[in-house]
Structure 1
Amino acid sequence: MESLMLARIQFASTTIFHFIFVPLSIGLAFIIAIMQTLYLVKKKEVYKKMSIFWGKFFLINFAVGVVTGIIQEFQFGMNWSSYSRFMGDVFGAPLAIEALLAFFIESTFIGLWIFGWDKLPKKLHLACIWLVSIATMLSAFWILAANSFMQNPVGYVLQNGRAETNDFLAVITNPKLLVAFPHVIFGALATGAFFVVGISAWNYLKKRDLDFYKRSMTIGLIVGIVSSLGIAFSGHSQSTYLMGAQPMKMAAAEGLYEDSGDPAAWTVIANIDTENKDTSMRLEIPYALSFLAYGEFKGKVDGMNTLQAEYEELYGEGNYIPPVKTTFWSFRFMAGIGGVLILLSILALYWNSRGTLVNKGKFLKILFASIFLPFIANTAGWIMSEIGRQPWIVNGLMKTADGVSPTVSAGSVLFSLVAFSLIYTLLAAAMVKLFVKVAKEGPYEKQKEDSSSTDPFSTGGLEHATE
């Protein structure tokens, strides 16, 4: 296998694995901040216990996420040196700000939050977790600013064979960034919300600590339904944006080789024949694609064949059609899961408010399984965004094949791919083991006889810290 394909596989695997942790950190930090705010307002000890208990999951996830992020960024210089030379002036600034500003805020105030229980004034301690939550979102903003340039290059000049920033304000107000950032944040909040909901549902089934988990479930479901609806509305904004900035991605996401009719129907499922460039056996919703693309129930969408001819005139001969099946189905996984999350939130919130959710065993098992749905949707959305941009690594400026390191052999990439995969496997196993341990211990784990720790995050210290 050639080095280009191995480098792409490595980038995809490391980024997907890292992106498991980022949304969960953002979502849990926000939910924990809400719980601690309720503790300050209502002065009920249970909300403090909730903040500490769910904080354990957050800290485990954050620690593993930091490690995976370092590995993920390391490969830019290793496997993609040509890309780094071309994009370094633009790409470097947002990444540096993310590390020097957002990550430092996260790290500093996480430490103050962990060790500040009963030491800092309550309002100041609460401010620490809110600053952590804001910083996690700022991290996402700066990373997306860099990625958005790859989707829609703005604020730059080409000089000496490199893209150099000449308008930093344009980079951080990129139209792609402005539609992507809310979508990612809502997705992250849904990830954290359904993690809380799923763990709470598991304890409903066990009939353990029902008052604690009912309160957690309620907060998770409220955040879940708001964020799921936010995903839908922000996703619509992204679709409208794609029509103007990346029409080929939009056409691939719909499996449209030929121009649609006017109005355009949205395809739910279809059989896609990439060899003959044909899509058959469509199950369609009339008018829906026009609404997604233009916000109104009229307007046609150009097909990939039409766009291919236009791109050849602009950029020269070559294939400008991305992997269609991957783009098509990843979009449907993302959109379909979003609809399922909305439905689950509404049903669970209704039954939980009536006190009957605890008796619905089969539905609780579905809620427990729903922990994984936002992770799948987040991954599918990322795949659709990145694969749908191909063959470009920087849209309209540099092709992916031109961004790979020219002197790195396929053997070297394969070795690092295997090594990173092994590291990630060990990290995943450790994280799952710790998550299961914390979940089984629950929020009221008894103080160990041989422990005198007052650290609320130490093993067995939770009950002592909240007495």
Structure 2
Amino acid sequence: MDALDLARWQFAVTTLYHFLFIPITIGLSVLVAALQTAWVRTGKEPYLRATKFWGKLFLINFAMGVVTGIVQEFQFGMNWSAYSRFVGDVFGAPLAIEGLLAFFLESTFLGLWIFGWDRLPKRVHLASIWCAAIGTILSAYFILVANSWMQHPVGYRINPATNRAELTDFVALLTNSTHLVAFPHTIAAAFLTSGVLMLCVCAWHLMRGNEAGVFRPSLRLALWTIVISGAAVAISGDVMGRVMNEQQPMKMAAAEALYSTRQPASFSLFSIGPLDGSAETFGLRIPHALSLLATADPNGEVEGINDLQREYEQRYGPGDYRPYVPATYWSFRLMIGLGMISVALGALGLWLTRRGRLPVSRVFWRAAVWSVPLPLLANSFGWIFTEMGRQPWTVFGVFRTADSVSPNVGTASVLISLATFTLLYGALAVIELWLMMRYAKAGPPVIPAHDDHDPTTAEDRPLAFAY
């Protein structure tokens, strides 16, 4: 491998690891805020205990997300300086807003929430967690603005004197058609992920008969979150497929390993045989499905990889414009399949818990406990498909990945940093898993009888919510 391959591996490893925490942070922040709202409105102690329990898991995950996210910023300057120089004038605006506004909004109000128990009035304290939750969503919004520009660059011009992209229309950047579908799709996937995590922990406790008063309402909240967010993922993903086919038809063709243009085009659930277009030993296909996904017309035309390669050679010059087809083909199917299994499990759980019931079969409880990796893997495969399907471009149609790597970074230095980050992130993974499992198994805290969240007596007693 050369420096370019190693730099791509390093960015993939650190990005995918970081993105394990982001969906949970986004989803849990809102779910914790919803539970605290229920407590403030009803005064029922189980909601307070649930808020503190899930809030602790949320904070552990948030801290890990911050630690791993810092590395992302530095990589642009270390391994991808040519790319940073080219897109800095465009990327600077959304990333600066994300750091200065969204992240500080999130962190400031999260601090108030952590240390404001028994010190702030109930509704002021509740407002702090909602502001923190809004901050997490705003962070995702501006990060996705930057990523969507890489998928579909708008609102810019190339300065011929400096050969750099310069932002000309900030509104066009914020309203990029790719971003308008990628953002709701990502947020919906975040709620699906956090819902499954909540389902797992509730199942572990309820299967053992622990704290039913706390975990019953949390279970129902988790199941409704999974089902509703799953529907939102499917709807936004359907729209996203058509937008992708219009803007990056090569990615859509690679998702199906479709080498020749078809009208109509079928969708293969799986394929046995090489994915190089030479032959297919066996494939299970849904007629017209790819045409429907790509064009909203069951008889629509979908361009093939070979035809698009010739078209791109004429438009962009000689070169290989095909992504790595096996990765895009299988990541697309694993993303969809794992997501559908997660939603199906949530729908089943919602049916089994209707009218205040609890499932009697331990099979469901065990399936729920082991379901946590499903949406996490679906998210990861989704990003693999999104980013690898764009290759060989960092900015589609404008700037190639081969031209983006730092010119003065050697193979040895990237290899050392890749090994270092891999080992460090492996250690952090062990710590994260240990902390989450420890506090998840510990259950909700016991609330002292005198803890009525009255800030006037905060100096006379210890904090009821400490980390």
Q: Same fold (TM over 0.5)?
A: yes
Which residue does 1:233 correspond to in 2? Answer: 235
CA distance in 2, matches of 1:418, 1:49: 42
Which residue does 1:442 correspond to in 2? Answer: 443
Which residue does 2:56 correspond to in 1? Answer: 56
AA of the residue aligned to 2:308: L
- The DSSP-based 3-state class of the residue aligned with 1:26 is helix
Which residue does 1:177 correspond to in 2? Answer: 179
Which residue does 2:325 correspond to in 1? Answer: 324
Which residue does 2:464 correspond to in 1? Answer: 456
User: How do 1:29-428 residues align onto structure 2 when only pairs under 5 Å count?
Assistant: 29-159=29-159, 160-262=162-264, 264-271=265-272, 273-275=274-276, 277-428=278-429
Comparing 240-249 and 338-347, the one that deviates more: 338-347
Aligned sequence identity (%) = 48
AA of the residue aligned to 1:418: A
Structure 1: 5+ residue runs without aligned partners?
A: 460-467
Q: CA deviation at 1:54?
A: 0.2
Q: CA deviation at 1:273?
A: 2.3
CA distance in 1, matches of 2:206, 2:344: 20
Structure 2: 5+ residue runs without aligned partners?
A: 449-459
AA of the residue aligned to 1:292: L
AA of the residue aligned to 2:416: F
Tell me if structure 1 keeps the 8 A contact 2:49–2:446. Answer: no
Q: CA deviation at 1:445?
A: 5.4
CA distance in 1, matches of 2:362, 2:244: 42
CA distance in 2, matches of 1:280, 1:75: 42
- The DSSP-based 3-state class of the residue aligned with 1:157 is strand
- The DSSP-based 3-state class of the residue aligned with 2:337 is helix
Distance 1:277 1:94, change over 3 A: farther
CA distance in 2, matches of 1:430, 1:446: 28
CA distance in 1, matches of 2:273, 2:464: 55
Q: CA deviation at 1:275?
A: 4.7
Higher relative contact order (CA 8 A, sep 6+): 2
Tell me if structure 2 keeps the 8 A contact 1:257–1:279. Answer: no
Which residue does 2:20 correspond to in 1? Answer: 20
Deviations along 1:289-324, whole A, 9 cap, x unmatched? 122112232212011001001000001111111010
CA distance in 1, matches of 2:323, 2:37: 47
Tell me if structure 2 keeps the 8 A contact 1:257–1:277. Answer: no
Tell me if structure 1 keeps the 8 A contact 2:155–2:168. Answer: yes
Q: CA deviation at 1:358?
A: 4.1
Which residue does 1:465 correspond to in 2? Answer: none
Q: CA deviation at 1:346?
A: 1.2
Q: CA deviation at 1:457?
A: 3.7
Tell me if structure 1 keeps the 8 A contact 2:52–2:445. Answer: no
Distance 1:129 1:316, change over 3 A: same
- The DSSP-based 3-state class of the residue aligned with 1:269 is strand
Tell me if structure 2 keeps the 8 A contact 1:257–1:278. Answer: no
CA distance in 2, matches of 1:299, 1:272: 26
CA distance in 2, matches of 1:275, 1:182: 34
TM-score (norm 1): 0.94
Deviations along 1:91-145, whole A, 9 cap, x unmatched? 1111111000000000000011111122212111111111111111110110000
Deviations along 1:215-259, whole A, 9 cap, x unmatched? 110111111110011000000011010110000000000110111
Aligned CA RMSD, in angstroms, stands at 1.6
Q: CA deviation at 1:18?
A: 0.3
CA distance in 2, matches of 1:177, 1:272: 35
AA of the residue aligned to 1:227: S
Which residue does 2:457 correspond to in 1? Answer: none
Does 2:463 correspond to 1:431?
no
Q: CA deviation at 1:267?
A: 1.3
AA of the residue aligned to 1:89: D
Distance 1:277 1:124, change over 3 A: farther
Aligned length: 454
Distance 1:84 1:232, change over 3 A: same
Q: CA deviation at 1:261?
A: 2.9
Deviations along 1:65-108, whole A, 9 cap, x unmatched? 10100012211100001000111111111111100000000000
AA of the residue aligned to 2:415: L
CA distance in 2, matches of 1:233, 1:298: 20
Tell me if structure 1 keeps the 8 A contact 2:242–2:294. Answer: yes
AA of the residue aligned to 2:180: L
